[in-house]
Amino acid sequence: TEIKYTQQNQTVSGKQPATVEVAVPLPLDTTFHYRVPEDLAPRIQPGVRVFVPFGRRKVTAYVLRFSTPPEGQQLKGLLDVLDPEPLWTEAELTFFQWIADYYLHPLGEVLKTALPTGINLQSRSSVDGEAVSGGKKVRHERVFSALPADAPVKLRGKGLDILAFLRQSGSVSSAELKVRFGECSPNLRRLVELGLVRMSEHEVYRDPFAGLSVTKDSPKPLTLHQQQALTTILTALDSRYFSPFLLHGITGSGKTEVYLQGIAHTLAAGRNALVLVPEISLTPQLVQRFRARFCDGIAVLHSALSDGERYDEWRRIRRGEVRIVIGARSAIFAPLERIGIIVVDEEHEASFKQSDGLRYNARDLALVRGQQEQAVVLLGSATPLITTRFAAQQGKLGYLSLPERVGNRPLPATSIINTRMTAESPLSPQLIEALADNLERGEQSLLFLNRRGFASWLVCPACGADLQCPNCSVSLTYHRQRRKSLCHYCDYQVPAPCICPSCGELELKEMGVGTERIEHELLEQFPGARIARMDSDTTSGKGGHARILDKVGRGEVDILVGTQMIAKGHDFPGVTLVGVLQAEGSLYLPDFRATERTFQVLSQVIGRAGRGELPGRVLLQAMTPDHYGIAYAADHDFERFYQEELLFRQELNYPPYGFLAAIKLSATSEKSLTSAAEQSAAVLRSIKSRLGLRVEILGPAPAPLYRLRGRFRQQILLKDSSRAALRRLLIAYRREQSLPATVRMAIDIDPVDL
Ligand code: ADP
Ligand code: ZN
């Protein structure tokens, strides 16, 4: 940047006008050049935002680099420079350029996605201590401290008390003084005038986890396997070469301790750490573990932050005040420099993939960024993706294994209960007996069912009609407590129970089972038990999730019923029994990863049992007990599952053997969608033959959820063993397709939801 800056100064002083190349956040594949007016020249640098005339509009754009003005073109001038300092370094701009190329997404939109939304606040007024600088909201707080001077005799009363307090306490904020002394601004003003007290303004950060007390914790002596893994990681860190690893550790094997010690080593060597976790496991419990080890210099990024909070964290990171960033998928864009290690915990989680806009996968980008930074990348999981395990087998990733639980705790004894013939009650007699035993012993139990609500749907016993969402092609789910039937996709709701929409019958029959119904049954079976439910109905709002987890942690819950939410990463040492209802529930989704997902979630739930002193056991209720996705999960046998799943993938050329891309089309009119989808497929096929490609073109086919939020959806799936071939086809398609404005089209590279 320095060299460019000098060139910049020369052009300003001399012959030709300076020009910059910018990206605009619009669906356009090209970048644009603008002239830099002389008065703006000193403030312009790569990485700042500028305001530019664009067609008849004025838009915000991102400066990529200084450019040589294209010959004979009349360039428009920039209107304003919006940032005093670059938002990104050159290395970060390179990373974003890579993303734009790989995902075939406009660079300007990639940059916009990478910025915290709070940065776009353009308020010009100054409200209630919120000063506005360069269009950004910053909260300032006044802080007072005593100066070493003698207090004049005339100082008495409150003024004197405040001065004494400040002399004792160092710096104190005006807010705290107000709490202690009541309204005291006149006294403070007077103290400042007398030269007894100094006032300064500090920016305040809205720390979402402020107020949590942490007990300092030190590194634990490692188990043999942890030590072996860590030694390899430390050697890789010291080499300062890009070193990606799969850390394959069964549940309770102590992966987090390995992360923590790897990070400690990284920090000691002067480099920083980026930790990506699925949103759902980004709990105070996890953050606490990092705080307890590293105290300060940690930024936490998750979706419950307000725009302001998110922007605050972003700026702290940008200024180098942060050594560790922990966050959900978008934290991959954090402006952290000198990254030495990137951890992706629960790397198999589908939530690392963004499902709209820029459809990136943070797990994959961790490897890209890690390579650019010459960092260590740790992909940690008890149930790694088939593709990740395969990459380790091929030597593309180092393989680190933690095959035993800490403290030689056994994995829970797991039995499968065949419910094919007995589907009357959702809770089998064996499970009820086991729950009763556990209650008697005063031990905790978890019950997992991946469906919230009371019944799955309501059916009319007279005419057989069920209640469908008018916007999405799914049945509404009946929620008894809320007295509503609602759509789990678009939140469409109707009061329930209601009369049959087709024939007017009054009593609709409840079909299927949700967590709410299980909770209800448990309350009837075990009237004295303390029962809690955790699903998105009971955890809405900030901290709802943590509240329930805390109660379980303190032993105030005997039985916790929940969806996927209870499966992830929580460490409940008191849980000795896990029950799984409808283990086959997710096997038959129309997605080639359905078995892999079932295996993952079952393994995770099973892993919740017996993490403390007492051994655990698991009862799996399933209609298809012999299915390999269920049987191997019950046996804790990842390797056998992996081998069997690989055969299936190979046969159909699915990842890791073939690569996928999808073209996703949607419209409110079914007719225009269908013709657009067919036209797209025809364009693809003609490009394919023209370029002599072998890409499999599947579809167009209706998406498994054909109608969502009022839009019909079709997709075309592309499959090939060469990424380059897919890319050539897609680039040509993007250029040659012409879709009506009413049809939305998105390219999804490495799609995870089909
Ligand atoms: P994982 O993430 O692999 O499921 P955790 O990192 O949560 O496992 O570890 C499980 C439990 O074991 C935690 O309570 C953790 O504090 C504890 N633990 C981890 N490593 C050690 C160790 N070396 N010595 C003692 N306890 C450990
Ligand atoms: Zn709906």
Ligand 1 near 253 CB (within 6 A): yes
Instruction: Please tell me the distance between residue 238's alpha carbon and the centre of ligand 1 in angstroms.
Output: 25
Instruction: Please tell me the distance between residue 380's alpha carbon and the centre of ligand 1 in angstroms.
Output: 14
Q: Which residues fall in the annotated binding site for Zn(2+)?
A: 460, 463, 469, 472, 487, 490, 500, 503
Query: Cα–Cα distances in Å, from 642 out to 248, 390, 637?
Result: 13, 9, 9
Ligand 1 near 220 CB (within 6 A): yes
Instruction: Please tell me the distance between residue 611's alpha carbon and the centre of ligand 1 in angstroms.
Output: 9
ipTM of this model?
A: 0.97
How far is residue 394's CA from residue 372's CA, in Å, rounded to a whole number? 22
Ligand 1 near 251 CB (within 6 A): yes
Question: What confidence score (pLDDT) does residue 470 get?
Answer: 82
Q: Of the ligands numbered here, which is closest to the C-alpha atom of 257?
A: 1
Q: Of the ligands numbered here, which is closest to the C-alpha atom of 380?
A: 1
Give the DSSP per-residue string, 693-730.
---EEEEEEEEEEEEETTEEEEEEEEEES-HHHHHHHH
* Amino acid type, 89: T
Instruction: Please tell me the distance between residue 717's alpha carbon and the centre of ligand 2 in angstroms.
Output: 25
Yes or no: say if 519 and 538 are a contact pair by the CB < 8 Å rule: no
Query: Cα–Cα distances in Å, from 12 out to 20, 44, 47, 189?
Result: 13, 11, 19, 47
Residue 672 has phi, psi (to 5 degrees) of -70, -30
Ligand 1 near 604 CB (within 6 A): no
How far is residue 248's CA from residue 256's CA, in Å, rounded to a whole number? 12
Question: What confidence score (pLDDT) does residue 727 get?
Answer: 97
Question: What confidence score (pLDDT) does residue 245 get?
Answer: 98
Ligand 1 near 292 CB (within 6 A): no
Sheet holding 617-622, edge to edge: 413-418, 617-622, 575-580, 444-448, 559-562, 531-534
How far is residue 288's CA from residue 200's CA, in Å, rounded to a whole number? 31
Torsion angle of the four alpha carbons 113, 116, 119, 121, in this order, in degrees rounded to the nearest 10: 90
Task: Give the pairing of strands 484-486 and 477-479.
Answer: antiparallel
746: which residues sit within 8 A by CB, 6+ positions away?
356, 359, 663, 664
Ligand 1 near 31 CB (within 6 A): no
Q: Which atom of ligand 1 is nearest to the CA of 255?
A: 3
Q: Which atom of ligand 1 is nearest to the CA of 402?
A: 3
Reading the block at residue 244, the tokens are 């990606």
Torsion angle of the four alpha carbons 152, 155, 159, 165, in this order, in degrees rounded to the nearest 10: 50
Q: What is the pTM of this model?
A: 0.83
Question: What confidence score (pLDDT) does residue 11 get?
Answer: 42
Q: Which atom of ligand 1 is nearest to the CA of 221?
A: 23
Distance of CA 288 to the CA centre of its chain: 18
Q: Of the ligands numbered here, which is closest to the C-alpha atom of 608?
A: 1
Ligand 1 near 223 CB (within 6 A): yes
Q: Which residue has the tokens 């300003």?
A: 12
Neighbours of 263 (CB within 10 A): 26
Ligand 1 near 137 CB (within 6 A): no
* End-to-end Cα, the chain, rounded Å: 43
In the chain (754 residues long), the average pLDDT of successive 10-residue segments reads: 39 61 91 94 94 93 89 88 93 97 96 86 34 45 82 81 83 80 87 87 56 71 97 97 97 94 97 93 81 90 82 92 96 97 96 95 98 98 97 98 90 89 80 95 92 76 80 80 81 79 80 86 93 84 75 92 80 89 81 91 90 89 92 96 96 94 95 96 97 94 87 94 96 94 95 84
Question: What confidence score (pLDDT) does residue 209 get?
Answer: 52
Question: What confidence score (pLDDT) does residue 68 get?
Answer: 83
Q: Which atom of ligand 1 is nearest to the CA of 251?
A: 4
Ligand 1 near 612 CB (within 6 A): no
561: which residues sit within 8 A by CB, 6+ positions away?
446, 447, 449, 515, 518, 519, 522, 531, 532, 533, 534
How far is residue 159's CA from residue 491's CA, in Å, rounded to a whole number? 57
Sheet holding 477-479, edge to edge: 477-479, 484-486, 493-495
Q: Of the ligands numbered here, which is closest to the C-alpha atom of 382?
A: 1
Ligand 1 pocket mutation pick from 406, 570, 605, 608 by most atoms within 8 angstroms of CB: 406
How big, in percent rounded to 5, are the helix, strand and coil portions of the chain?
35, 25, 40
| 3-state SS string for 209-228 | CCCCCCCCCCCCCCCHHHHH
